[in-house]
Amino acid sequence: MEITAPLGLRDKKRAETRAKLERAAVELVLREGLAHATVDAISEAADVSSRTFFNYFDSKEDAVLGIHDLELTEEAVTEHLRKNDGAGLVESIVKLLFWVIGPSITTTDLHALRMQVVKAHPELLSRHVTQMTRMADQLTAAIQTLLASDPEFAADPVQTRSASADMLLTICSGGVRVAVKEWVTEGSTVSSDPATTDQLEQRAIELVREVTKKIQ
């Protein structure tokens, strides 16, 4: 979904610093435990100041998971629509949400270590809920754009589409949360499997469809 462009020197340095902080956070938790992996300790291990840490993450938990908010620009949403042309609405929304939380489940070399932490501390997954709440306005606006392209919702008044977008965000984000929770609880291993995100997306879609079908 991202529209890629060559990174400038400043962007490269920011990406490197973020990666250092993420690795330091994960390794410290594994070595010292979650309680002892403080922001100060993570910053010291990454050789940056605590003030710099908060330029990248809101909390140590976000650094462990690799969570950072993405800007859902009009161009990004348009690209998402193009890439998912023909997809059902639930499928499209779930894929959008997985793009937002993607860093914590991508198959980098840090991923296996991160999953060890998440399996030991499943409460960390609540940070995804916090992130989606923080990004609710952006996500709702993006979903409204998706609804405007869906024949079932396109003719609805703007206010009605806005309410529908809020409801769909709640339902689909719940499906994503449960799918990831199941994956962690069941002890799935995904250290280098590129199909993992697809599997989680399909499970989330399945969960949403199963529940909504039963309550109709």
H helices, E strands: number in the chain: 11, 0
Which pLDDT tens digits describe the chain residue by residue (216 residues)? 444 444 577 778 888 999 899 999 999 999 999 999 999 999 999 999 999 999 999 899 999 988 877 777 888 888 888 888 888 999 999 998 888 776 555 546 787 788 788 888 888 878 877 887 888 888 999 999 999 989 999 999 999 999 999 999 999 999 988 988 888 777 554 433 445 778 889 999 999 999 999 887
Give the pLDDT score at 172.
Answer: 94
The pLDDT of residue 187 is 58
| C-alpha distances in Å from residue 182, one per residue of 70, 105, 112, 148, 209 | 25, 14, 17, 32, 17
* pLDDT tens by residue, 181-193: 888 777 554 433 4
Return the CATH number of the domain spanning residue range 9-65. Answer: 1.10.10.60
- pLDDT value at residue 215: 86
From-to residues of CATH 1.10.10.60 in the chain? 9-65
Residue 198 has what pLDDT? Answer: 83
Q: How far apart are CA 204 and CA 210, in angstroms?
A: 10
pLDDT of 68 reads: 77
**Residues 107, 122: Cα–Cα separation, whole Å:** 19
Give the model's pLDDT for residue 104.
57
pLDDT of residue 29: 95
| CA atoms of 109 and 111, how far apart (whole Å) | 5
What's the CA gap between 65 and 1, in Å, rounded? Answer: 20
Q: Which two tokens stand for residue 141?
A: 């606006």
Q: What angle do CA 68, 22, 189 make, to 5 degrees?
A: 95
- C-alpha dihedral sign at 20, 201, 90, 177: negative
